[in-house]
Amino acid sequence: MTFFTIIFRGLLRRPVRTGLTLVGISIGIAAVVALVGISRGFEQSWAKGMQARGTDIVVSTMGSGLAPKPFDAAVRDRVAAIPGVSAVCSIFVDLTSIESSSMMIVSSREWGGFSWKNLKLLSGRMPNDAMEPVVVLGQNAAEVLGKKIGDPIQIEARELTVVGIVDGGALVENGSVILSLSLYQDVSGSQNQINVIDVRATPDTSEEDIKKLCAEINKVVTEAKALPAGENVGNSQAYKFISAMSWGTSLLAVIVGVLGVMNTMLMTVFERKQEICILLAIGWKRSRIIRMVLLESALLGFLGGITGVLIGSISVKILETLPAIHGLLEPDLSPRLMTISVAISVIVGVISGLYPAWRSSRLKPSLAMQG
């Protein structure tokens, strides 16, 4: 028998109560894993999409909506003229409902721009010109919409035709309906409007110089903001709001977990008052009693963390298969997030055990003689 056996046996003493406490803390940690994983995954998916398009800088107005606000298409030429910029591609990206799907990314791109180049044709063909009334679908979008080559697709009030299925190299690209910018401007009635400019810097530009180039662009462009690719989503108001909501909700769930563990440990100390006094009477130091309570509490947190990570991961995997978001969600279930979640849970356990441990250390060994 080791000291750990005593800790473990303490938790098994009231298996139902321990189990319910584990469920409580697990739900908190599952919320952290699921909500934070999804919001981080959202950011990473967009970053990967830009990486797949070979974009170094994104010029956009990431406001409070999930899609950027439109601005004048003429900005494109002002950005293209800045030294250090090797290529630009105007984009109008929108999140809208299309037929059976309640939320679909529509990515319309400047005809001939570099953002078309990463699209690998899996079947069918690419559009023949900027105004041909056709679209290509990312492979996930085709699956979600149930479309194949030759099928009609309703966008706004126009019926277009699916002519190709593509692999864009990133989930965001593969979940998009892709068409020519001019065609979409015509279909949506947003002539001369764009909301993103993908910018490529001259080859071998360092990260530091990319930031300097962003500053140069921001001097010239007041309608939108230039940020290194990958940072723009994280800086958007909408993403910050989603992220804050995720952490806020998780924090609430974790606080409930803290209270649950603290209640359990206080009950444990209360119920085992005489046992603790006996241990003090037979020579256990107060520091060992404190360690026992804190380790029990930390173990509760650790087990709750592991269970929470499992529940959170499984929940997210189930969410991914739901028709409404299938192909749009790429949650960040990285080992880092899972480690952080378990660490949070252990810390929660230790913090929850501090007061009960202090209470237990105040007990008098003479109480062992009573009863």
Select from 2, 97, 206, 321 the one that contacts another protein (CB under 8 A): 2
- Least distance in angstroms from the C-beta of 14 to another protein: 10
Give one DSSP letter per residue of 220-276, joined into a string.
H-SSSEEEETTHHHHTSHHHHHHHHHHHHHHHHHHHHHHHHHHHHHHHHHHHTHHHH
Q: Could you tell me how many residues of this chain bind another protein (CB under 8 A)?
A: 27
Cα diameter, the chain = 93
How far is C-alpha 180 from the chain's CA centre?
29
Contact code string over 323-362 relative to another protein, x by CB under 8 A: ----------------------------------------
Is residue 226 helix, strand or coil? strand
- Least distance in angstroms from the C-beta of 357 to another protein: 16
- Least distance in angstroms from the C-beta of 274 to another protein: 8
Q: Kindly tell me which of 120 and 364 has the beta carbon lying closer to another protein.
A: 364
Select from 148, 285, 317, 336 the one that contacts another protein (CB under 8 A): 285
- Residues in the chain, overall count: 371
Q: Kindly tell me which of 315 and 361 has the beta carbon lying closer to another protein.
A: 361
Contact code string over 95-114 relative to another protein, x by CB under 8 A: --------------------
Stretch that binds another protein, among 5-13, 100-108, 301-309, 340-348 (CB under 8 A): 5-13
- Least distance in angstroms from the C-beta of 371 to another protein: 6
The answer to the question of residue 206 lying near another protein (CB under 8 A) is no
Is residue 86 helix, strand or coil? strand
Whether 33 and 337 have beta carbons less than 8 Å apart is answered as yes
- Least distance in angstroms from the C-beta of 363 to another protein: 10
Stretch that binds another protein, among 10-18, 51-59, 137-145, 326-334 (CB under 8 A): 10-18
The Cα–Cα gap between 371 and 369 comes to 7
Q: Kindly tell me which of 284 and 355 has the beta carbon lying closer to another protein.
A: 284
The Cα–Cα gap between 146 and 148 comes to 7
Is residue 225 helix, strand or coil? strand
The answer to the question of residue 5 lying near another protein (CB under 8 A) is yes
Instruction: Determine how β-strand 158-167 pairs with β-strand 85-98.
Output: unpaired
Contact code string over 253-282 relative to another protein, x by CB under 8 A: ---------------------xx--xxxxx
Buried-exposed string 123-144: b where 16+ CB fall within 10 A, e elsewhere: ebeebeeeebbbbbbbbbbbeb
Whether 179 and 115 have beta carbons less than 8 Å apart is answered as no
What is the residue whose two structure tokens read 């940072």? 231
The answer to the question of residue 369 lying near another protein (CB under 8 A) is yes
- Least distance in angstroms from the C-beta of 358 to another protein: 14
108 contacts: CB under 8 Å, gap ≥ 6: 91, 92, 93, 94, 178, 179, 180, 181, 183, 184, 185
Residues within the interface to another protein (CB under 8 A): 1-3, 5-6, 9-10, 12-13, 274-275, 278-286, 288, 364-366, 368-369, 371
